[in-house]
Each structure stands twice: as structure tokens, then as C-alpha cells.
Structure 1
């Protein structure tokens, strides 16, 4: 128990002036008698030795001490059962408390402070920074951190997972940011770096070995439970939490990474360098950078290569989303080649589809040409495709069509009419008009059309031009006509054989 100076002065005054005994002082001040003994002994008085009262546990102490010396990690519950079998009459609470005092303490381990030369080593680790909502997906927000051990220069990049592809992208981006490669990269025992280890025998991930061969650095794994070996990157992650991420606002992952890059080059680089307090981290990095290994001419390929299979529908599943492919490739194995921005689908050596990558979940990313090609082949799917087109552009389409069915109207005609309105007015206008029709309790096609016309007149825009193109146009062969008869009509029928006056 810690007491203030005022309490110590009262204890000394009551003892030396009022001649109170230790127990009286403790009772009046509401403290334990051991606190009074400690204050008096610090004042130079001999420590009071009190006789320890005999406990019901005393006869069992030799057995307990001997057992703990043989089995130091034996639990108090098991020791209590063993003592009860030997006649111990007490309860478990006091027994456990006494065992905690008797259990031998492990000698704390001392660590050496490790030094590193400029350009010699970098330390790498992941940090978890909550979650990021992207569409329907809740993705883990992971920070990839690399720290140069001598200058303490930090590279920080955020990803939505800590898979092998993100790990490789972080490595390559860090090397490019430093414009060089450290001779040794020290990793924690993460699965993307270390597949398994048995003591000093370590099996690294094949992708990491390919990366190290390309950039000529040596991968090393930190020893388990040795925080001093990778303390620089762990302190850097704590520094990032407190001085960068806390209270930070960002609109997207790209915005967060842009702020992280600016922070690493600015605020983070302006702090004092622990290796040389006369230098800032940025100044120390300028001295360390020439000692890094040179970058190779071509960067390492960090694109994801995943073998997928198109099933009965012309889509392949990649990273929880479906991407369309030409319908000729259903029931075949394909390869997805993806980066952070783009997804390419390959059959053999040919790229058959290219899409923007989505990090949402359950999305259906389509190329209109893929679906339309299949649509033209399957005339029975026309009605379903028309409904799906409406549902893709508006969340009001499904409730509106359900109201139309409940009112007993023909669904096919309503779907065709709504698709025509979609072509005439556009997706945004139709979405707002359908929502307004449902809100005003007018959920039928003509109500939607009237709302669209009213909105168009209010904007003083001309009406849309109706263009009707048949779904299927047959190839007719037109036989050219003989125009010689028309040529005969253009010539005079006869020439006059006598003067006009003879007819008089």
C-alpha cells in the first residue's frame, strides 16, 4: 500500500510524540499494521518481528514445497486435491493463495540491445487496425509495416487482408519507396513468410523465396518469444497507432494510403533518430540509402494467379465476387490473373475477359457483351433478362413488379414498357420515378411514365425520340427489278408525219 507524505508524518508523530503503539496507529488511520512497520523502519527503528500463527496448512508445507520443486507448473487445483487425499481439512481459497506465495518464480531473462549497420537489416510485420466496410463486405484493415533498423525509416501501406499477394505487394512497394533493398529482411513467424519451423530448421514460403531470389536479400525469421529481435517494427506499429491512425479520417483505402505515404515522408521522418540523436530519421535515411542493394531492372510480378472453373452460368468466382466470361467457356477451367485494380480471366494464353476489381462481397460484375451474346442465343431467357436489367439499375424494381403482379396486370408487358422507359429516360430518372410511384401509392407502369413526363417538362427538355428496333432482323434477299419498261415510258410514243396545219 502506497501512502502520501502527510500520512507518513502522522504515523511518526503518533509514535514519537503520542507514544501510540503500532496497532493503535493502524486502527485510527485505517491502514494495515505492515504499513506502519514499514514507515517506522524507514525512520531508523528496528523492524518489529511478529510470531507467525500456526496454520492448518503448516503440516503440509514440506510436501507442497517438495512437489513444487519437482513439478513447478503443477496447478493449485491439482495440489489441493493431493493435499485433501492426505487429510488437509481446509478450503480451496486459502490454499490457492498460499500456493501462489510458495510457487518458485522463474528468473527473468535479460536481453542484449541489438545493433545494426546502415543498409544491413529491415524488420517486417503486420498490424491490425479494425475493419473497413466495402459494399457488402466487412474487410480486415491490415497495415504492412517495414522499418529500416538503422535509420528507423518507416514504410506503411494498408491492405484489406494479409494474404500472400498483399504481403508480396507490400514488400515490392517498400523496396520501391526506399529505392533500394536491405541485405536482410527479418520477419515474424507469419504464415506468408514461414510455413513451419522446428528450432533453427525453418521452411520459408516458396513465394518469399522467389521474391528474395529476385531482389537478392536474405530472409530471416525471428526466434519465437524474442521481442528484442523485432522490437523496432513492433515499436513502429505502436507509434503508427498513436501518432498516425488515432483520430484519422479517410474516405477510402486509397485516401488512407495517400495520407500514410505523406506521413512517412513528413511527420515520421522528422522525429529524432535513436541511433544518432543529432540526426532526424529522414537525414539518417539519406545516409543509409546508398548502402542498400540496387533495385533490379524489372519489378517482381505480384499479380494473383488463381485457377477457377466456370460452371453452368457464364461467371467465375474470385474473392467472393462473380465475374462474367463469354458463354463458350462454361464448364471449363480458367485462370484469374488479378491486381488491385483489374481482374483478367485467361483461357490458355488468351485473355477472354477483363473487369475492374471489386472488394465487395456477392457482387456480380458483368460485361454487357458477354450476357447479350448468351441472351441472343436463348430466346426463352428474354423476359428474365429484362427483369434482371431493371433490378440491376434500381432497388425499387422488385417491389414495383410485385405490386403489378398483385394488382393482376400482365407482367410481360409491364417489364417491356419499363425497359423502354429505361432506354428513353436513363437509369437515374427511372430509379427515382419508380421510387416516387411506390411512395405515392401508384405502383403501375403508367404512373411511372407520368412521373417521368412531369419531371421532363419541369426541366424543360424535349420528349425522347422513340426508336423501335426488332429483336431479330431476318436477312431478306430483294430481287432487283427490270427498269427497261420505265425507260420506254420516258421516250415519245410516235413522231408527227404531217404538218399540223393539214388537220385544219
Structure 2
């Protein structure tokens, strides 16, 4: 026989047995009460409720109840105020555990709503961006290998993925490939979501990215630190690339990596997305219609600087040195760089150097024409790169003496310098 408590509060097992006996066995209430040793009213209450009984201890007041109004007022003014500061403001003299638990319950009601942590997105609303660092050694040339970053963008509504390997994490390289990926889309989402990447901004967008956002008329949203949920779409896309694209592949260089990645993305964007239960490519047309049109003119190179060309006639971009036509020595030149090439312009727009972008580090790249020009002009590299041009001196005939003469002069052999002097 199943025992019940004296106060006639039955366990879940008793409640289930009562309902089974009455409905399945067709046993009358009186017989159930006699069979289980409980009152008929208890049986009736068990049959009257479709949910199992739950014992709840009578609520007792907490010491925090007396100061809850003050806590709410402080949180209303400063939602992120630490509990220790709240305790000091309200003069709390008791244990901190119960105060922390109450503050933890009250704080979410006063925190501002995070506009990025939504799980539903409107067409063209935003794209989440991140850098993925594939665990693959990519040949970079000059005997070097490395693991360059990959810019990944995921559109919120359609979940279309776009990605490209970059030579560096600098603002200029990031902006250059942002533009190229958006140009491939043919439009720009109204907001780009980034975490605190140094090339984009930490707490505040860099001036370069602010100018880029102004050109596109979009907003760049920087997530709070340690808030990966705010860009969960691109985080999952990084994992997708890591597990579905990378395994078993070999690459001959960054161009080969990007070629294989482009081919894979065309297939991946046509697969059924598990969350959407739809193909991203099928939602892309609606997503694209909600985006902003790109400006009619491509942006200028975002990685550029001016410098007076020294006698060394080389300019440094990232960690590599690129030669410039020696004719520009001493003149102001403008260095423009993107992910493909480095161009140097003299005043008036004359191109005085054009080199493919080097992905390897600490290399010196010399155009053969610049080296020939140096030789023709009689320019010599001295003291780590200083150069000078001098006119060739007049030819003077000099007497050539026997080598033995110098030996006798310095008393290396018999004869001595006295004989020589004579």
C-alpha cells in the first residue's frame, strides 16, 4: 500500500496511481480511498487537477525586500552598476549573497535591448563580419608559409556567405575586400556588424572605416567585448568553413585558396540551411532588394600615404620594400596599395613604380628597369641604401712599378728602404 503524508499532500506517484485506478480500472472514489488509505476528498482533488501536485513552502520575507525599491531606482539610472556599489549606496550591512541574487533578478529589466541579438532579420537589414584564421599553411612565396586571415560576411536574412583571404588585418586591406565582396553582391546591407577588430575599431570605428561607411551610407555596429552571441551567424559560418571546406584540401598559394573557396561557396549557398529550412540562394533576391545601391564610383585606394623619396629609392608597405624609379629621388610621391598591387605616383600622376603585392614578409622587390636605371646614372647604394651620383674623373696614366719594389720598400726582402731611397 502506498503511504501518503499526514497532511494529505500526496506525491506525484500517488496522484498518478489515483488517476490510473479511476480511469483505467474504473474503480470508484470510495474504493480508491480505501485501497490507498487516504480520504475521499484527497482522491477527488487528485482527479480534479490535470497537473501533478507540487509542494510549495510558504514564502517568507527576505531582508532585501525592504530595500528593493532603492535597488530598482539605482538600476533605472545606471543599469550596469556593480552590486558592491549598490550595497554601498543603500547602506547594506548583511551578507552579499542574497543581495547579489536579487540584483541579478532585477537587472535584466533595466538593461537596454541589444539591437543585434535578434534571431529574425529583415531583407537587406545587416551582414555580420568576422576574420577566420584557417589552420592551413599557405605558401606565400620566397620560401615562406603563413596563415593569412579570411574575411567572412554573412547576410542576416538570406544567410548568403561571402569570403576572401587577405594579406593582412590592416584597415586598408579590410576595406578593399569589403568593397570587392559588396561589389560582387551589387549592393550593400544597411548595417555591418563587427566585433572589436583593431583594423575596424575598438569601442569606436576607425576614421578609415567611418569614411567607408559614409561613402556607402551604411552603419557599422561594433559589438560589446565578450559578446559572441551578437554575431552568431558569422561565428557559425566560420565553423562551417572549418569543418566543411578546409578538410583534405591543399593550396599552392592565396590565389589558389580563393579560387577553391569561391567554387565551394557557390555550392554551399545553394544547400538547404538547417535553421531556415530554405536555400540561401532562394532568399537572395528578396535580400538584395532590401539593400542599398552602391555608389556609382568605386572608392579610392584606402591604404595610401605620401613620402619624399629618399636616395634609397625604395618605399615600404607593410613589411616589404618596393623599388621606385630613381628619377623620382627627392620628389614627393604618393604610395597607393590594395590587395593586388602597389603603385607609386609622382607629382602630376606619373606612375614611377608598379609592383604585385607581396604576401611574404620582410622582402625587397626591385624592378629590373629601376636597377638598370641606377647603373646608367652611376648611382651606388652606400651605408644601408644611401646613393650618390658623381661625374667620372678624367683618365690619368699612372706608372706601374714591379711588385718587388714594394717589398724592398717595406723591408720585407733584402735591400731595405735605404737602397730604395737611394
Report TM bin, short chain.
0.5 to 0.7
1:132 — aligned with what? 138
Change (3 A) 1:206 1:379: closer
Gaps of 5+ in 1: 1-68, 72-103, 198-202, 382-504
1:148-176 per-residue CA deviation (whole Å, 9 max, x = no partner) reads 11111111111121111221122112212
Change (3 A) 1:257 1:353: same
Change (3 A) 1:380 1:325: closer
2:238 — aligned with what? 237
1:352 — aligned with what? 352
Distance 1:70 1:209 in 2: 38
* Structure 1 position 143 matched with structure 2 position 150: yes
* Structure 1 position 116 matched with structure 2 position 117: no
Query: Displacement of 1:271 after TM fit?
Result: 2.6
Change (3 A) 1:194 1:320: closer
Query: Displacement of 1:332 after TM fit?
Result: 4.7
1:369 — aligned with what? 369
Counting only pairs closer than 5 Å after superposition, residues 7-406 of structure 1 correspond to structure 2 as 113-130=118-135, 131-134=137-140, 135-195=142-202, 197=203, 203-272=204-273, 274-275=275-276, 277=277, 279-302=278-301, 304-349=303-348, 350-378=350-378
Query: Displacement of 1:218 after TM fit?
Result: 1.7
Distance 2:379 2:175 in 1: 47
Change (3 A) 1:362 1:308: farther
Distance 1:351 1:237 in 2: 40
TM-score w.r.t. structure 2 length? 0.58
Gaps of 5+ in 2: 1-82, 86-99, 109-113, 382-422
Distance 1:357 1:113 in 2: 40
CA contact (8 A) 1:155 1:177 kept: no
Counting only pairs closer than 5 Å after superposition, residues 373-452 of structure 1 correspond to structure 2 as 373-378=373-378
Distance 1:70 1:309 in 2: 57
How large is the RMSD of aligned CA atoms in angstroms? Answer: 3.2
Change (3 A) 1:136 1:116: same
Change (3 A) 1:327 1:263: same
Change (3 A) 1:355 1:160: closer
CA contact (8 A) 1:145 1:233 kept: yes
Change (3 A) 1:271 1:313: same
1:458-500 per-residue CA deviation (whole Å, 9 max, x = no partner) reads xxxxxxxxxxxxxxxxxxxxxxxxxxxxxxxxxxxxxxxxxxx
1:251-307 per-residue CA deviation (whole Å, 9 max, x = no partner) reads 2211111121122221243132624x2x21211223322222222222223452133
Number of residue-to-residue matches in the alignment: 277
- Larger gyration radius, structure 1 or structure 2: 1
Change (3 A) 1:328 1:237: same
Distance 2:147 2:334 in 1: 26
Distance 1:158 1:380 in 2: 39
Change (3 A) 1:288 1:373: closer
**Equivalent position SS for 1:166:** helix
1:100-138 per-residue CA deviation (whole Å, 9 max, x = no partner) reads xxxx89969999753211111111111122453422545
Change (3 A) 1:137 1:320: farther
Change (3 A) 1:255 1:369: closer
**Equivalent position SS for 1:155:** strand
Distance 1:120 1:185 in 2: 9
1:423-475 per-residue CA deviation (whole Å, 9 max, x = no partner) reads xxxxxxxxxxxxxxxxxxxxxxxxxxxxxxxxxxxxxxxxxxxxxxxxxxxxx
Distance 1:140 1:380 in 2: 38
**Equivalent position SS for 1:229:** helix
Distance 2:236 2:368 in 1: 50
More helix by share: 1
TM-score w.r.t. structure 1 length? 0.49
